[in-house]
Amino acid sequence: MSTPSAAVAYEGDEPIELSEAMQRRTLLLGNRLFLGANTMLMLAMLFAFLFLRSQNYGGMWRPDGIADLSAPPMAIALLLQLGCLVAAVATLAAARRGAGVRGIAMVALVLGLAAGAARIWYQYNLGSGWVINNGTYTAVSEMWFGIFIVEVLLGCLWLLSIVMPGPRARDRVATLNHLRAFSEFWLYLLIASTFVWLLVRLV
């Protein structure tokens, strides 16, 4: 991995070199703003879920014929997400030491893609009665699970942009910054998706 050149921004028509610290702060701030916006989406879904739960009593909330969510397939998906996070953190540590990161980053990418594939399979194999028009319980739950599928796959695209040859992969500072931001995003996603699955299964 070559020595990075300074990033360039523009003030009017004049180029301005950004320091490594400024690059890091800018990316992490943007990532955390995104996570904050995503948290608002999660809170909106949580409000919808709990409000509809409060308005539908007994069999109206979870009608007869809807199977309980199966735990083992989701446990596999979450373990794959955890494995991707561990590999991403290991890649970040290797990048900080100046070691090659392509191999272990590819492991993280494969695990992330496997987690996405497992979630897609799970979405289409929730069990009997799980159709989106079978009441508010299944509708809100399936939409929530679908949001996580999209976010996992977007995370994989982000990781791919770090792994594949290109300006980002050649720039050590950019690689470090994006790996750190990705790790924060993936940890957030792991915690949020675990909480949501437990909520849907138990409430």
Q: What H or E segment, with its residue span, contains residue 14? A: strand 14-18
Which superfamily does 7-202 belong to?
A: Cytochrome c oxidase, subunit III, four-helix bundle (1.20.120.80)
pLDDT of residue 169: 65
pLDDT of residue 91: 93
pLDDT of residue 9: 47
Domain boundaries, the chain: 7-202
CB 24 within 8 A of CB 177: yes
Bridge partner list, 7: 18
pLDDT of residue 6: 47
Report the chain's terminal Cα–Cα distance, integer Å: 50
Query: pLDDT tens digits, residue range 120-177?
Result: 999 999 988 898 888 889 999 999 999 999 999 999 999 998 888 777 667 778 888 8
pLDDT of residue 17: 52
Question: What is the token pair recorded at 181?
Answer: 């931001």
Tokens 């997400």 belong to residue: 81
pLDDT of residue 21: 76
Sites in the chain below the pLDDT cut of 50: 1-6, 8-16
pLDDT of residue 55: 85
Question: What is the token pair recorded at 51?
Answer: 């409000």
